Amino acid sequence: MHVVVVGLSHRTAPVEMREKAALSDRATRTLVRGLMEHADIVEAVALSTCNRTEIYAATTDPAAAEEVMVQALVERTNISRNELDCARYQERDDRAATQLFRVTSSLDSMVLGESEIQGQVLAAWELAMEEGASGPVMNQLFRQAIEVGKRVRTNTRISRGPSSVPAVAVGIASRAFPDLDHRRVLVIGAGQMAEAVLTSLVDQGVGEVRVVNRTVSTARMLASRFGGEGFGFDRLVEELAEADIVISSTDAPHTILDRSVLEQALGAEGGRRVMIVDISVPRDVDADVARIPGVELHDIDDLERVVEANLNGRRQEALLGEHIVVEAVAGFVDWRAGLAAAPAIRDLREWAERVRRDEVDRLAGNWDSLSETDRERIDALTRALVNKLLHEPTVRARAALGQTDGMRHIESLRHLFGLEASADSGQHATN
């Protein structure tokens, strides 16, 4: 069984392209269900964050599976085939495992060491399990990825300093307004990212907090936890008119702040200084907003420049994290090798046991003078002989799977001992 990943990220695509490939929870479920209808996909997990969209799958035909996954992204998102072909990457087996382990460890994040990614990977895996799309291979892969992520965070100082997109967003705002304790901040959205933003804002000593969300009760509940007030979108223009800093983090599929809304709040001439940080993908704020006098707009790609300033102390720690990932990938490769070799080894031992038993039974009629104790000794002797004869082939078969041409050795083993028929019958029995 092979493992493949197809995706795009902040390393290969700008935010304008990533937002086209973003998946909501509902779209993710639909995509995963669709993938499982293809004979070339045995298991599948889809991961979509503000910085990446990736599909991981278990398959017996990697090339066919990759094409199915690419087509699924084109059909289920707003990205075109040409755009995806220009930005996508795809990896197989140990390289696919490396990709997921690095992602979960935040070694591949825009903000090196950010803390949200582990929860996002876990949520993606849990969704796939709910849909019945994650089986033995994906479960092992993602379980190990979560463990690796925890090890990297525990055994390195990769998360030292601002380590999340929300924290960096608040950092941008606080540098623009050093007197943050006298400023009013408006957070649009009430999800996990919005909560993380508010946590960072309170840590920075923000003066006033307002939350605007589609559901008023959710906005009030979140805002009250941080000493603020929450409102529905009917108060958006009024709150924008009083805000110094606006941080938008919703899962809306389209922009919610365009130039006309801001001009209505600030006046067509603008002039009052307002900092807007858009950390949503797809983006919440239309780029044309930045043309209003006094308005300073940052989107999620802009955060990368700020991140660079924080990376110096983390790069050395990231090297330690990379070593942890390499060790974990070797463990996954060994597990996958054992998984691939197990059916052939099982069939070989079952074949040998049938031969041993048939020969003992055939000769038993000529041994009427043997006692029951003698028969038990002969049975034990022949079992031990078979085990000794099969020990070296079994060890070598498992070791072979770690080599580039490992499957060729397994196929040769089946051919030499005539095990093809049993393998075919076993495969049909499970289909």
Q: How far apart are CA 130 and CA 164, in angstroms?
A: 28
Q: What is the mean pLDDT of residues 30-46?
A: 93
Whether residue 297 sits in one domain with residue 270: yes
- Which of 18-22, 40-44, 257-261, 340-344 is least confident? 340-344
Q: Give whichever of 140-144, 153-157, 200-204, 267-271 has the largest mean pLDDT.
A: 140-144
CATH label of the domain that carries residue 114: 3.30.460.30
Question: What pLDDT was estimated at residue 43?
Answer: 94
At which residue do the structure tokens 């000493």 appear?
A: 227
Q: How far apart are CA 42 and CA 261, in angstroms?
A: 48
Question: What pLDDT was estimated at residue 121?
Answer: 95
Whether residue 24 sits in one domain with residue 102: yes
> Using the 8-state DSSP alphabet, how is residue 257 labeled?
B
Q: Which domain holds residue 340?
A: 334-430
Q: Bigger pLDDT: 426 or 2?
A: 2
CATH label of the domain that carries residue 259: 3.40.50.720
pLDDT at 373 over 90: no
Question: What pLDDT was estimated at residue 431?
Answer: 38
pLDDT at 232 over 90: yes
Is the distance from CB of 20 to CB of 83 less than 8 angstroms? yes
Close Cβ partners of 427 (under 8 Å, ≥ 6 residues apart): none
Q: What is the mean pLDDT of residues 129-142?
A: 92
pLDDT at 248 over 60: yes
Q: What is the mean pLDDT of residues 232-241?
A: 93
Is the distance from CB of 322 to CB of 107 less than 8 angstroms? yes
| Residue 220 lies inside a defined structural domain of this protein | yes
pLDDT at 277 over 70: yes
Whether residue 176 sits in one domain with residue 149: no
Q: How far apart are CA 255 and CA 293, in angstroms?
A: 20
Q: Which residue type does 409 have?
A: H
Q: What is the mean pLDDT of residues 210-217?
A: 93
pLDDT at 312 over 70: no
Q: How many domains does the chain have?
A: 3
Is the distance from CB of 250 to CB of 281 less than 8 angstroms? no
Close Cβ partners of 128 (under 8 Å, ≥ 6 residues apart): 32, 43, 44, 45, 46, 134, 138
| Residue 323 lies inside a defined structural domain of this protein | no
End-of-domain residue from the set 131, 159, 187: 159
Q: How far apart are CA 130 and CA 124, in angstroms?
A: 10
At which residue do the structure tokens 């079994």 appear?
A: 394
Whether residue 131 sits in one domain with residue 63: yes
Question: What pLDDT was estimated at residue 186?
Answer: 93
Which of 262, 256, 298, 293 shows the shortest CA–CA distance to 277?
298
List strand residue ranges (DSSP E) for 33-182, in order.
43-48, 52-59, 89-92
Whether residue 71 sits in one domain with residue 105: yes
Q: Give whichever of 47-51, 340-344, 360-364, 384-388 has the largest mean pLDDT.
A: 47-51
| Residue 325 lies inside a defined structural domain of this protein | no
| Residue 320 lies inside a defined structural domain of this protein | no
The phi-psi region of residue 52 (left if phi > 0; otherwise alpha if psi is between -120 and 50; otherwise beta) is: beta
Whether residue 282 sits in one domain with residue 408: no
End-of-domain residue from the set 129, 159, 189: 159
- Which of 57-66, 120-129, 254-263, 380-389 is least confident? 380-389
End-of-domain residue from the set 124, 159, 194: 159
pLDDT tens digits for range 77-125: 999 999 999 999 999 999 999 999 999 998 888 777 777 889 999 999 9
Close Cβ partners of 306 (under 8 Å, ≥ 6 residues apart): 168, 171, 172
- Which of 13-27, 158-172, 348-362 is least confident? 158-172
- Which of 46-55, 341-350, 386-395 is least confident? 341-350
Q: How far apart are CA 53 and CA 161, in angstroms?
A: 26
Is the distance from CB of 169 to CB of 248 less than 8 angstroms? no
pLDDT band at 163 (very low <50, low <70, confident <90, very high): low
Name the β-bridge partners of 45.
Answer: 56
Query: Which tokens is 119 given?
Result: 């929860």
Whether residue 129 sits in one domain with residue 174: no
pLDDT band at 424 (very low <50, low <70, confident <90, very high): very low
Whether residue 129 sits in one domain with residue 58: yes
pLDDT at 34 over 90: yes
At which residue do the structure tokens 């939350």 appear?
A: 211
pLDDT at 240 over 90: yes
Is the distance from CB of 29 to CB of 72 less than 8 angstroms? no
| Residue 70 lies inside a defined structural domain of this protein | yes
Question: What pLDDT was estimated at residue 258?
Answer: 92
pLDDT band at 174 (very low <50, low <70, confident <90, very high): confident
- Which of 148-157, 183-192, 265-274, 396-405 is least confident? 396-405
Neighbours of 394 (CB within 10 A): 16
Written as one string, the DSSP assignment of 270-328 is --S-EEEEE--SS-SB-GGGGGSTTEEEE-TTTHHHHHHHH-HHHHHHHHHHHHHHHHH
Q: Which residue type does 134 have?
A: S
What average pLDDT does the structure give for the chain? 85
Query: Is the whole-model pTM more than 0.75?
Result: no
Whether residue 172 sits in one domain with residue 145: no
Q: What percent of the chain has pLDDT over 70?
A: 88
Q: Bigger pLDDT: 395 or 53?
A: 53
Based on the residue annotation, tell me whether 86 is a catalytic residue of this protein. Answer: no
Whether residue 134 sits in one domain with residue 39: yes
Whether residue 370 sits in one domain with residue 425: yes
Close Cβ partners of 143 (under 8 Å, ≥ 6 residues apart): none
| Residue 425 lies inside a defined structural domain of this protein | yes
| Residue 318 lies inside a defined structural domain of this protein | no
| Residue 424 lies inside a defined structural domain of this protein | yes
Q: Is the peptide bond before 166 cis (omega within 30 degrees of 0)?
A: no
Find the farthest-apart pair of alpha carbons in the chain and give their distance in angstroms, rounded.
Answer: 112
Strand order in the sheet with 89-92: 43-48, 52-59, 2-9, 89-92
Q: What is the mean pLDDT of residues 333-340?
A: 72
Which secondary-structure segment (H or E) carries 170? helix 165-176
Q: How far apart are CA 130 and CA 261, in angstroms?
A: 40
Tell me which of 8, 35, 44, 50 is the catalytic residue: 50
Question: What pLDDT was estimated at residue 371?
Answer: 81
pLDDT at 251 over 70: yes
Whether residue 133 sits in one domain with residue 222: no
Q: How far apart are CA 100 and CA 149, in angstroms?
A: 10
